[in-house]
Amino acid sequence: MTFEEIRSRAVAEWKALEHSDKPRILIGAATCGRAAGAGVVIEAIEAELAQRNIEAVIIQVGCIGLCYAEPVVDIIKPGRPRTCYGNVTPEIAVELINDYLLKDNPRPDLALGTVGEGSIDGIPRLFDHPMLKPQVRIVLRNCGSIDPENINHYIANGGYSGLIKALSMKPGDVIEEVKKSGLRGRGGAGFPTGRKWEFCRNAPGKERYLICNADEGDPGAFMNRSLLEGDPHAVLEGMLIGAYAMGATQGYIYCRAEYPLALKRLNLALKQMEEYGLLGDNIMGSDFSFRIKIQEGAGAFVCGEETAMMASIEGRRGMPRSRPPFPAQSGLWGQPTNINNVETWGQVSAILQRGVEWFAGYGTQGSKGTKTFALAGKVNRTGLIEVPMGITLREIVYDVGGGIPGDKRFKAIQTGGPSGGVLPASLLDLPVDYESLTQAGAIMGSGGMIVTDEDTCIVDIARYFLSFTQAESCGKCVPCRLGTKQMLDILEDICNGRGKMEALDLLGGLAEDVRAGSLCALGGTAPNPVLTSLRYFRDEYEAHIKERRCPALVCQPLVSYYILPEKCEGCGICLRACPPEAIKGGKRMVHVIDQSKCIKCNVCLEVCPTRFSAVVKVSGVEIPVPEEPIPVIAESRGRD
């Protein structure tokens, strides 16, 4: 079959679906949607449709990124625009079927918005939603709209036309296109993709290899999982284009084993590509042959590093090695090898499909296009977002994310996971591009973005990320193996109230040494959370050390529980609930916590009735202990 035949068949199938006289129901059933309960919603919808004798097409789609509103269900009634509903429970799903499908009431009270042509009274357009309006969808173009298990859906929406275009060009010209687009690696470091390809193409070698890095291991990052689950072909098409441009014959996808749904969809996608002649020998009748093998990760974070990943594919311990030689010169089995991140491959297919000018129209001078982020933490609207480069952190936190819950004060935003940094409120107007973030001490990273508020302890955050990198250090080089351990010990001391001011300088010095002396990026970036927090939040470190005070009331050894005498009603609830029996007090007597017995388990604070709210957490202050038991003073306050 020629590509034209494949394409017209795919378009016909898509059109038939679009103009079907049956209603269509799209359910976000990526891993995140399933965790939020998409499974029971699907069951409820199927049962209700069967009971009401309604014929409908149910499609399990990927994630549209509105994680806070999961499970998300879209309903398309013939002749009506696609309407998106959030936080759908089995009960709401049944209501929607009865009210909308049977009675034609689209339930604007439950709808998030409509997509596509036409409108419905009382329902806004989904892409006018404050979370979606600042977004530009290049990589996530199909996520949530197509069936990721149906290659025809991808092809009907422009899929593989980028490959066909590339095949009509000289390989060197394809590289020129990618160079002109200004695309830079989306895995974190931001190396210009076209130049990386050129190195690989020009290196002498018997064979060339290409690797897709899908070993997304940063805590708090799920951009790559979402893309692989929602639109695997977007990534695979990018790999084919790269393979053709570089002259590679064998590709690998190194995907972590913790992503079973992504792995399943990748395997299925590869099979579909083979059936269509998009993989194997003489792809689409050309001289270009390429194969892709999936390699499952075995649980080592360091394998996200290029040279460690290649060692792992070769069947060895996943330890990085020094460069040069760079993978482009001598990579997998000593041959020229190119590694790009999942998102980079997804951008490549879009660039070839839609053109360089269109892509480079987004972003800034030095950082073109868009970047996906997993927005999480203390923010109202968590989710997977794709924003043009150059957007400010403030726009991401307040426009896309809808601000901080409970009117709390913004404290910091953490980008780049354990390799990134914490940035304070004074940097909220920083544009998100490679240079600005690096200058501020953070990195673009693969895209984790965690918002913190006044209740988050920055020292504790630094300790958390360092304990992660320390445990994941492969142990090959001394600065990373021992340096991160020493840094972690100092941070543990500070959080436990044993910190010394001299150690703070030692911490900063060690961080610089680990950064400069480590063999690979894991060690080289591990000090970033410490260095940025020392730079922007030194006062918090000093409060922990000088005043033995945790301003955010997070570090347990520095926190005490105290019952406010003027609020305690002597009800005895906390007294009975206290696991170590550390609370004393009789009926109608103010209860007192014996600080020597208290284990700081928080139970008293949780059980104290909110109408009293007598238990508080304090830090850095002496707790007064009354010599005589005090009777409650409720009567004098006019209660009772």
Q: Which of 577, 616, 618, 633 binds other proteins (CB under 8 A)?
A: 577
Cβ distance to other proteins smaller for residue 579 or 626? 579
Of residues 308-327, those binding other proteins (CB under 8 A): 312-319
Q: Does 573 bind other proteins (CB under 8 A)?
A: no
3-state secondary structure of 244: helix
Cβ distance to other proteins smaller for residue 312 or 367? 312
Residues that bind other proteins (rule: CB under 8 A) add up to a total of 26
What is the distance between the alpha carbons of residues 101 and 393, in angstroms, rounded to a whole number?
Answer: 41
Cβ distance to other proteins smaller for residue 295 or 347? 295
Interacting span for other proteins (CB under 8 A) from 52-60, 121-129, 262-270, 599-607: 599-607
Cβ distance to other proteins smaller for residue 40 or 516? 40
Q: Which of 602, 609, 621, 635 binds other proteins (CB under 8 A)?
A: 602
Using CA atoms in the order 228, 232, 237, 243, what is the torsion angle rounded to 10 degrees? 50
What is the distance between the alpha carbons of residues 258 and 255, in angstroms, rounded to a whole number?
Answer: 8
DSSP class of residue 418 equals G
CB of 487 to other proteins, least distance (A): 22
Of residues 257-276, those binding other proteins (CB under 8 A): 257
Using CA atoms in the order 471, 475, 480, 482, what is the torsion angle rounded to 10 degrees? 80
CB of 92 to other proteins, least distance (A): 26
What is the distance between the alpha carbons of residues 208 and 204, in angstroms, rounded to a whole number?
Answer: 9
Q: Specify whether the CB–CB gap between 200 and 345 falls below 8 A.
A: no
Cβ distance to other proteins smaller for residue 217 or 369? 217
Q: Does 607 bind other proteins (CB under 8 A)?
A: yes
Structure tokens at 42: 């699907």
DSSP class of residue 18 equals H
What is the distance between the alpha carbons of residues 218 and 610, in angstroms, rounded to a whole number?
Answer: 38
DSSP class of residue 324 equals S
CB of 303 to other proteins, least distance (A): 9
Residue type, 32: C
Cβ distance to other proteins smaller for residue 24 or 584? 584
Q: Report the length, in residues, of the chain.
A: 640
Q: Specify whether the CB–CB gap between 413 and 397 falls below 8 A.
A: yes
DSSP H or E segment with residue 92: helix 90-96
Cβ distance to other proteins smaller for residue 312 or 532? 312
CB of 340 to other proteins, least distance (A): 20
CB of 462 to other proteins, least distance (A): 21
DSSP class of residue 101 equals I
Cβ distance to other proteins smaller for residue 47 or 603? 603
Q: Specify whether the CB–CB gap between 331 and 310 falls below 8 A.
A: yes
Of residues 496-525, those binding other proteins (CB under 8 A): none
State residue 153 phi and psi, 5-degree precision.
Answer: -60, -40
State residue 561 phi and psi, 5-degree precision.
Answer: -105, 140
Find the distance separating the first CA and the last CA of the chain, reported in whole Å. Answer: 86
Of residues 378-407, those binding other proteins (CB under 8 A): none
CB of 266 to other proteins, least distance (A): 15
Interacting span for other proteins (CB under 8 A) from 8-16, 150-158, 497-505, 594-602: 594-602
Residue type, 182: G
Q: Specify whether the CB–CB gap between 575 and 561 falls below 8 A.
A: no
Q: Specify whether the CB–CB gap between 253 and 212 falls below 8 A.
A: yes
State residue 504 phi and psi, 5-degree precision.
Answer: -65, -40
Of residues 452-481, those binding other proteins (CB under 8 A): 474
Q: Does 606 bind other proteins (CB under 8 A)?
A: yes
Q: Which of 145, 181, 226, 295 binds other proteins (CB under 8 A)?
A: 295
Cβ distance to other proteins smaller for residue 177 or 215? 215
Q: Does 298 bind other proteins (CB under 8 A)?
A: yes
Q: What is the secondary structure of 480-535 as a DSSP string?
A: IIIIHHHHHHHHHHHHTT---HHHHHHHHHHHHHHHHH-SSHHHHHTTHHHHHHHH
Q: Which of 601, 616, 618, 630 binds other proteins (CB under 8 A)?
A: 601
Cβ distance to other proteins smaller for residue 169 or 607? 607
Interacting span for other proteins (CB under 8 A) from 58-66, 292-300, 440-448, 544-552: 292-300
CB of 476 to other proteins, least distance (A): 11
Cβ distance to other proteins smaller for residue 308 or 400? 308
Cβ distance to other proteins smaller for residue 54 or 601? 601
CB of 337 to other proteins, least distance (A): 13
What is the distance between the alpha carbons of residues 331 and 310, in angstroms, rounded to a whole number?
Answer: 7
Contact residues: other proteins, CB under 8 A: 257, 295-300, 312-319, 474, 577, 579-581, 599, 601-603, 606-607
